[in-house]
């Protein structure tokens, strides 16, 4: 191979590498609400886990399932809640509608339309919530309450120490 060919191959590899890594960094920061820190300690704790992989039955710190994620985040701020989504949805307190949600509230879904809660997450404001998704993201991600989850939302709950 000539020196010119070797040099061109190196440049192409460097450009490819930079385009891939810069693109990933941009997507992650956009997904985290442009890096703006919340005044809510629960939301801030939850965002620390953004991008960690989904794994059924796990409660962290390296991977989570949906209710394990909510359980671990609340535990990290000193709030004890049950382990499963269904049990979390039954904690004491008023069932909250979408319009009543505040940052840090737990949100619950029936993703299979079977008449009971089977998914949970944490509301982060602006009609978005953070959760451990077994779907396309297969990780802790941020989703829109008015997107795919719109008709699957059941209620929220607000829990304090």
Strands (E), 6-93: none
Query: By 3-state DSSP, what share of the chain in percent is helix, strand and coil, each rounded to 5?
Result: 35, 20, 45
Active-site entry in 24, 49, 66, 116: 66
What is the spatial distance between Cα 43 and Cα 105, in angstroms, rounded to a whole number? 9
Per the residue annotation, which of 24, 49, 116, 131 is the catalytic one?
131
The yes-or-no answer on residue 66 being catalytic is yes
Could you tell me if 42 and 125 are in contact, meaning their C-beta atoms sit under 8 angstroms apart?
Answer: no
48-80 burial code (b ≥16 CB/10 A, e <16) = ebeebebbeebbbeebbbbbbbbbbbbebeebe
- Please give the structure tokens belonging to residue 132: 């451990």
Q: Is 49 a catalytic residue?
A: no
Residue indicated by tokens 């319009």: 99
Q: What values do phi and psi take at 31, rounded to 5?
A: -65, -25
116 carries an active-site annotation = no
Catalytically active residues are 66, 119, 131
């Amino acid at each position: 191979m000539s020196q010119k060919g070797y040099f061109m191959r190196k440049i192409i590899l460097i450009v490819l590498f930079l385009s891939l890594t810069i693109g990933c960094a941009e997507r992650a920061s956009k997904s985290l609400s442009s890096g703006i820190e919340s005044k809510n300690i629960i939301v801030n704790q939850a965002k620390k886990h953004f991008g960690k992989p989904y794994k059924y039955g796990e409660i962290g710190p390296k991977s989570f399932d949906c209710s394990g994620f909510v359980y671990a985040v609340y535990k990290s701020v000193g709030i004890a809640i049950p382990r499963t989504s269904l049990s979390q949805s039954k904690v004491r307190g008023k069932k909250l509608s979408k319009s009543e949600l505040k940052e840090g509230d737990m949100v619950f879904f029936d993703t299979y339309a079977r008449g009971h809660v089977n998914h949970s997450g944490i509301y982060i404001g602006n009609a978005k919530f953070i959760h451990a998704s077994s779907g396309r993201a297969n990780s802790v991600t941020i989703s829109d309450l008015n997107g795919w989850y719109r008709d699957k939302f059941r209620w929220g709950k607000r829990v304090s120490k």
